[in-house]
């Protein structure tokens, strides 16, 4: 279940997945993201936060220029690029940290990889702009393909909907020439999973997603369902709850964890990895 695999990335880089949990730090260079909008809109503030997250254990920094929260203001590609490209270029100049770009646009993805990004993270699973897959194929970038329920009719069973949507995304990637080993899948917690129960069922049955055959990334950080479970209304107060979800999902096979509070989640995941190293049994949900 946790057999290590190498995730090949752009610019000749690679990352081992499976032996230990990999933390991806969230860096929103936006004015309106649900948790940290406006804090890192300046390049100097964004760089300082990226360095802080790397020092706390983030192997990847995920740079996003457009809020994906429900009701977030839409922007055009030019504005997205104005926000993210200077940050990516500056981070790439420092050299050590792997950089992911959070975008669903082909043009932005191409420019971001040219600026130094190693990974493209598409929250629409290649199904809004299939050109993102062409960028990954042509540049050798790692590709995160996320499930979403937004803008479409979903299947009643959440795991069957995951499999149907992500299988379609994998077909788009394959048609574009993306090598399978470059792809990581994300079940998209909070993206049109309308209730806390929907997200909790997905967590309980998470191990069933192993059937898709690719490593799994999860992004539960500060999501509304964590607040519903813990009673924490403020997103900033949901980090302990997020760390609990990280442990549960690590024990069910997740490889990469996209989080805001790197230090807290890195510590929690170190405990989960220690349990796995001891071969301790894990109780997994079976959907019944």
CB 181 within 8 A of CB 8: yes
Non-local (6+) Cβ contacts of 258 within 8 A are 24, 26, 62, 186, 217, 218, 219, 221
What is the C-alpha to C-alpha distance for residues 54 and 70, in angstroms, rounded to an integer? Answer: 29
CB 188 within 8 A of CB 166: no
What is the C-alpha to C-alpha distance for residues 54 and 23, in angstroms, rounded to an integer? Answer: 9
What is the C-alpha to C-alpha distance for residues 66 and 54, in angstroms, rounded to an integer? Answer: 22
List the catalytic residue out of 182, 223, 224, 250: 223
CB 274 within 8 A of CB 50: no
Non-local (6+) Cβ contacts of 161 within 8 A are 147, 149, 154, 155
Q: Is 205 a catalytic residue?
A: no
Q: Is 163 a catalytic residue?
A: no
What is the C-alpha to C-alpha distance for residues 24 and 133, in angstroms, rounded to an integer? Answer: 21
CB 283 within 8 A of CB 238: no
Q: Distance of CA 113 to CAs 143, 196, 257, Å?
A: 11, 35, 21
Helices 43-56 and 77-94, interaxial angle, to 10°? 50
Structure tokens at 274: 């220690």
Structure tokens at 7: 């995730």
List the catalytic residue out of 134, 193, 214, 258: 258
Instruction: List active site positions.
Output: 223, 258
């Amino acid at each position: 279940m946790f057999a290590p695999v190498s995730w090949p990335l752009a610019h000749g880089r690679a990352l081992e997945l499976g032996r230990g949990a990999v933390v991806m730090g969230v860096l929103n260079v936006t004015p309106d993201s649900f948790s940290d909008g406006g804090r890192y809109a300046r390049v100097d503030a964004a760089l300082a936060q990226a360095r802080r997250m790397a020092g706390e254990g983030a192997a990847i920094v995920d740079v996003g220029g457009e809020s994906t929260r429900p009701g977030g203001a839409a922007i055009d590609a030019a504005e997205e690029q104005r926000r993210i490209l200077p940050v990516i270029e500056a981070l790439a100049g420092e050299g050590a940290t792997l950089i992911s770009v959070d975008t669903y646009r082909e043009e932005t993805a191409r420019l971001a990889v040219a600026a130094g990004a190693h990974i493209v993270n598409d929250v629409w699973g290649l199904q809004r702009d299939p050109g993102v897959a062409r960028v990954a194929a042509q540049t050798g970038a790692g590709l995160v393909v996320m499930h979403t329920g937004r803008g479409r009719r979903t299947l009643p069973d959440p795991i069957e909907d995951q499999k149907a949507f992500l299988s379609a995304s994998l077909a788009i990637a394959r048609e574009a020439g993306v090598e399978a080993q470059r792809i990581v899948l994300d079940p998209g917690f909070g993206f049109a999973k309308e209730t806390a129960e929907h997200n909790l069922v997905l967590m309980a049955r998470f191990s069933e997603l192993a059937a898709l055959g690719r490593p799994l990334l999860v992004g539960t950080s500060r999501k509304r369902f964590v607040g519903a479970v813990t009673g924490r209304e403020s997103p900033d107060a949901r980090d302990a709850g997020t760390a609990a979800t990280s442990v549960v999902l690590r024990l069910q096979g997740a490889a990469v964890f996209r989080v805001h509070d790197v230090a807290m989640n890195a510590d929690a995941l170190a405990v989960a990895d220690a349990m796995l190293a001891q071969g301790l049994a894990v109780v997994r949900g079976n959907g019944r």
